[in-house]
Structures are given as C-alpha cells and as structure tokens.
Amino acid sequence: MKSLSLLAAAVAVVQAQEVYITTSGYTARPQCTEPPATPTYRFQSFSYASLNDTVRYAISVPSPTTTHTYGPAYSEAVAKLSTTLSTTTWGSWLPGQTIISATDTADKYGQAAWSSQWLHASLANYTDIGLYTTTVSPTPLPTSELVLPPRDYFGPTDCYNFPEGFTFGVAGSAAQIEGAIGLEGRAPSILEKMLPDTKPQDYVTNENYYLYKQDIQRLASIGVKYYSFSISWGRILPFTVPGSPVNEQGIKHYNDLIDYVLEVGMVPIVTMLHFDTPLYFINASAGYAVPDIGYQNGGYWSEEFVESFVNYGKILFTHFADRVPFWVTINEPLLYAFNFTGLDNVVHAHAELYHFYHDTLNGTGKVGLKLNDNFGVPKNPENQTEIDAANRFNDMQLGVFTYPICLGQQYPKSILDTLPGAKPLSKKELEYISHTTDFIGIDAYTATVISVPAEGIENCAKQNMTTNSLYPYCVTQETVNAYGWDIGYRSQSYVYITPIYLRTYLSYLWNTYKTPLILSEFGFPVYAESTRDLVDQLYDSPRSEYYLSFMSEVLKSIWEDGVNVIGAIAWSFMDNWEFGDYAQQFGMQVVNRTTQERWFKKSFFDIVDFVGARNGLGY
C-alpha cells in the first residue's frame, strides 16, 4: 500500500531562477548554485567524436617486493600442539567407480575406512568429475579481457579516500567452487547430503580445486589485493577427530594455493569452516530434526565438536599462520547452529582458537568470525516497542556471539529466555571468552524491517519452530518500509539494495560492540541474470549500483560517523554453487561449467575502479 500523501503535499513552486529548491518533497540540490534562466540555442559543426571514450585497462596487482611473516613457521609451530601429527594419503573416487579395493580393514583411519565413509554417505553420482584431475598451469590474461566497461550514468559523488591499510578483497568458499569432492582423500561433508538428489550438487561446480591458479591470476590481473577463501575440513582431516591423520595432499593443496596468492602479490584471508562440516557429525542422529534456531544442522551441537574443531583449527594455524594475516574461525554460525548447544559450542571453540593463536603461537595477524544478520530495523525508528523488537532480533542473531566474545558479557536475555536448554556462561567462562576477536566480520547483505506481531512476543517465545513460524525471534520481519515500498531494489533472492541501512548498521555495530568491523560479505544476485545472454549478464548495472553505493556508505561511515571499518570483502568473485542452485548468481564473473571459462562482469571492474580511485587497493 503506497502512500501518495508525500506527492500530494508537494507543491511545485518553480518560478524564478532562485526558487529551484523546494521544501515540500522534491529532492534538494544544494550543489546547484546558479542554474541558468533560459537556454541559448545555437548551431555548431557536428562531430561523432563526443562518443569516443578513452579506453582504460584494469591495473594488475604489482609483483611482491617484500615478504611478511605473521606467525611461526610450521616446524616451530607444530611443537606447540599437544598432540603429534601423523600424515598420510588416501585415494580418489574416479568416474563410475563403485568400490576402492583396500585390505587395511583393521585400520580405523585406513583406505578401507576412508572409502566406506563415501559408501555410507550413499550419494548418487558423487564420482562425477569435470574437465580436470590435476592443477592447471595459469596462463596470463590478454589485455583484451581487461578493458573497462562503460560507466553507469549515475554513481557516487563522494570525495573520501580509504584509510591506509583498508582491506578490500573478494571471497568464495571451498564447497561452493572447488568440486573434486571425492578426490585426493577428501571426506564427505554435510553439504553433499543436505539436498535432495534432484537439486544441483557441489560435486564439480567451478573446478577451482584444479583451476585455483588461473582463478587467482584473474583476480591479480583485475587488481584485487585480498583473496578470501575457505579450507575444507574434510580435505585436511578426512577422519575429522583429534588424533586422526592429516591428509598430506590437502595440506599441499592449500600450501600451494597460499603461496600462489602471495606469488602474484595478493594477500590471503582464510575461513576455517564455511558450512562444510564433515558428515561425521550428523551421521544418523538429529540429521533432519527441526532446529530451535538457524536453518540447517551443522553438527556444532555434537559433544565432539569443540575439541574436534579446535584441533582442526590449530592444525591450520600451525601450517599456514606464518603467511596468513586474517583468520575467520566460523562463517555465519547461526545458520547451522541448530540449537543452543550449537551456539554455545561455537562461542567456546572460537575463544579457544583465539587464545591459541595469540597466546601460544604469538600470531601477529587478526582472528575473528563472520556473522550473519540481515540488520533488523524498527518499522518506526521512534517507536520504543519496535526498537525493542529490533534489538531482540539483532541480539538473537549477533548478540549471542558478540556479547561474550566482544564485550565479555552474558548471553542476551532473549536467548536465555527463548531457546530450550539455554544456560548462562559462568564468570570464569566469560573471563576466558571476553575480548577474543580482533574484528567483527559482518555479512551485511541487506536489511529487515521489524515490528511486533499481533500475538505479541512472549506467547510465541514459549513455542517452537513447528508450532510458530515466527519462532524463535518472534517478531514480524518484512522487506517493505512503513509506507509499503520495498526497502530497495530487489535481487533474485533476499537481498535488496540498502546502502542507507548499511551505514546505520555499521554505526550500530561499532557503537554497541566497540570492535573493529569488516564488511566480510556483501553481494547481489541480479534478478534472472542466468537466463540472459552472456553479453547481457556481463553488463550487470544493478550489481554495480549495489557495490558502489555500499562502498560509498562505508566511506561516509568511516569519515562522517567515526566508525572503524577496516575492510570490505565482496561476495563473490565468481558465480558458484549456491546450496542447490546455480541460477542465483552472486558472482562478479560469469562461469560456464561445461567449458570452465570465466568472464569478468562490469561490476567487478566498477568496484575495483571505485576502490582504486580512492587509494583503497592497498598497493
């Protein structure tokens, strides 16, 4: 229901030259000091030359000149572990293979045990592979691929630069791009089991496991300094648990990947767990039960989770902390938390890894986590009841992690009062968990308009997800404002272009949690993009508008609001597997999964140009 009252109230009094700013609804133009009164018509010699644009090329990341170290080398770091690591290699499932012959059935971590994990997972076609089974050597990009697109007519007009050291980069995650799921010793993850057989799977996806060098080279060529990727737990530890052997091929893969990132002059950002928990944790029990919170069962509630994840995280630190300055323990833990135990386990595991990194390894980089919350804003920002409801929503999504981790404060009351079995942290636990993050990573895609449902919050909070669709937040969530307009231009999915909300969000986070912020994911799946011709997919102006408006608001947040935003990582650097869907494209490159060719979209050039023009590329 759209209100016409604003328009009706608008009185157009555009008479003489000085009356061009109205106060009754038309947009003010304070920059327009002396508009001419009347046009001057005249003849002149005509030329097409005004259409000739200067051709510009993307500027590649310069070759590295120095080496930075952020922690001890492996040989020194490994001595800090309380366990001795053994390494081994396992096999690969080749196309059509139904059995891997192995005689070591007595070895609980042997070849037979490894292949039986796959057989027990009982997946259709998991031995499918794409074009490659070995790492592809990169080829330099022809300059013809680096010609900048035409600019959009409208764009940011700010005059700010990014502060020195601002971390601008692009992101992807292992399961969404790697493929090669049954190769080189990887174990099955919950993502292979999560979706019905009829949905597109992650088995092959972008074959980044073998094409990573080419993919990284493309990023360096277009000029991006930071590359954020996730490591697959099942590739490092095919048997998940402490004491099980480390997969030599998995370690080598990510060592080579990190070295290649550095070789081309870029900097790696590593996420330890991005939804792809080993299937080990949800085998049989609780697999498909209705969660108390979040959407999926990530297995975080398991009694073995904390110890196992911390062991895995420490193994990553010992191998890679020397070269990696930014670490994310868990990506968007809320979504896969399942219940209070899952949330609580994540908080404890994160804190333990933070302490290990800083206290035991003396790592000089940063460790944090990445949180999701499509910022809850009160429908009427002056209505205290709705403000309280929005706070409840944000507390339950973010505060459950940030109260203890950033502030050393107890879990939010809404969590303790709503989730079954929720327990407060003890004073001792809080002391240990307090201030165990160097940044808040916020995946601030969009916003949510919050109001109070007719039934009230209290009644709903006593129910569960089966009986009440609003549970556990128990607030009304909308994507229209108080006057019935969408909060911004809509994408293919839940994302709307909401730059003004973003600026408020950053201010909310900084002033509430007093911790440096990284905009750790933001991106826009253009509506119906995958149905368009390639050339039209590449001209993705809505995505450019999303990125440039968000980045412009980040600058205002820094310079006008005093908010410490230390970085922004765009999601994603290429179209990928969006959990059962390839049509919802968040990428800044098109990927053809038959040929594995990639093409830069316009928005990729636009965001790099925006950041580069404001000294924010970090080189």
Ligand X SMILES: *[C@@H]1O[C@H](CO)[C@@H](O)[C@H](O)[C@H]1NC(C)=O
Q: Which residues pair with 370 in a beta bridge?
A: 331, 441
Whether residue 269 contacts residue 326, with contact meaning beta carbons closer than 8 Å, is answered with yes
Q: Which two tokens stand for residue 56?
A: 């510009």
- Single-letter code of the amino acid located at 416: L
Shortest spacing between CB 613 and ligand X, in angstroms: 22
Q: Select 81 or 286, whichever has its Cβ closest to ligand X.
A: 286
d(CA 145, CA 368): 36
Q: In this complex, which beta carbon is closest to ligand X, that of residue 17 or of residue 83?
A: 83
Annotation says 578 is catalytic: no
Residues 316 and 272: their CA atoms lie apart, in Å, by: 8
Q: Are 437 and 445 in contact (CB under 8 A)?
A: no
CB 447 within 8 A of CB 505: yes
Q: How far is the CB of 198 from ligand X (least distance, A)?
A: 7
Comparing CB distances to ligand X, the nearer of 442 and 449 is 449
CB of 20 to ligand X, least distance (A): 36
CB of 140 to ligand X, least distance (A): 22
83, two tokens: 């366990």
Exposure on the CB side of residue 26, measured as CA atoms within 13 A: 10
Q: What is the C-alpha separation between 379 and 401, in angstroms, rounded?
A: 25
DSSP single-letter state for residue 408: -
User: Given 332, 352, 529, 553, which residue is catalytic?
Assistant: 332
β strands within 533-610, DSSP E: 565-571, 589-592, 597-600
Residue 382 CB, shortest distance to ligand X, in Å, is: 8
Q: Return the structure tokens found at 420.
A: 């079954």
Q: What is the binding site for ligand X (CB under 6 A)?
A: 49, 52, 55, 72, 117, 120, 124-125, 197, 279-280, 283-284, 286, 290, 301, 338-341, 361-362, 380, 383, 385-386, 420-421, 451-452, 463-464, 466-467, 534, 592, 594-595
What is the DSSP annotation of 480-542? B-TTS-BSS-B-SSS-B--HHHHHHHHHHHHHHH-S-EEEEE-----TTGGGS-HHHHH--HH
User: In the complex with ligand X, which residue's Cβ is closer, 138 or 294?
Assistant: 294
| Closest CB to ligand X among residues 204, 607 | 204
76/560 with CB nearer ligand X: 76
Q: For residues 159 and 284, which CB has a smaller minimum distance to ligand X in the complex?
A: 284
Give DSSP secondary structure letters for 331-366. ESGGGG-BSHHHHHHHHHHHHHHHHIIIIIS---SE
- CA 192-210-353 angle, 5° bins: 65
CA distance 116 to 119: 5
204 vs 570, beta carbon nearer ligand X: 204
* Gap between the Cα atoms of 19 and 63, Å rounded: 56
Beta strands in 30-146, from DSSP E residues, in sequence order = 87-88
Strands 476-478 and 448-451: antiparallel
- For ligand X, which is the closer residue by CB, 17 or 125? 125
Work out how close the CB of 74 gets to ligand X at its nearest, in angstroms, rounded to a whole number.
Answer: 13
Q: Strand 376-378 relative to strand 326-331: parallel, antiparallel, unpaired? A: unpaired
Q: How far is the CB of 73 from ligand X (least distance, A)?
A: 11
As measured in angstroms, the least distance from the Cβ of 539 to ligand X is: 16
Query: Smallest distance, Å, CB 541 to ligand X?
Result: 20
Do residues 167 and 567 make contact, with C-beta atoms less than 8 angstroms apart? yes
Ranked by CB distance to ligand X, the top (closest) residue is: 421
Distance, CA of 357 to CA of 278 (rounded, Å): 23
- CB-count burial class (<10 Å; 0-12, 13-18, 19+) for 125: exposed
Q: Which residues are known to be catalytic?
A: 332
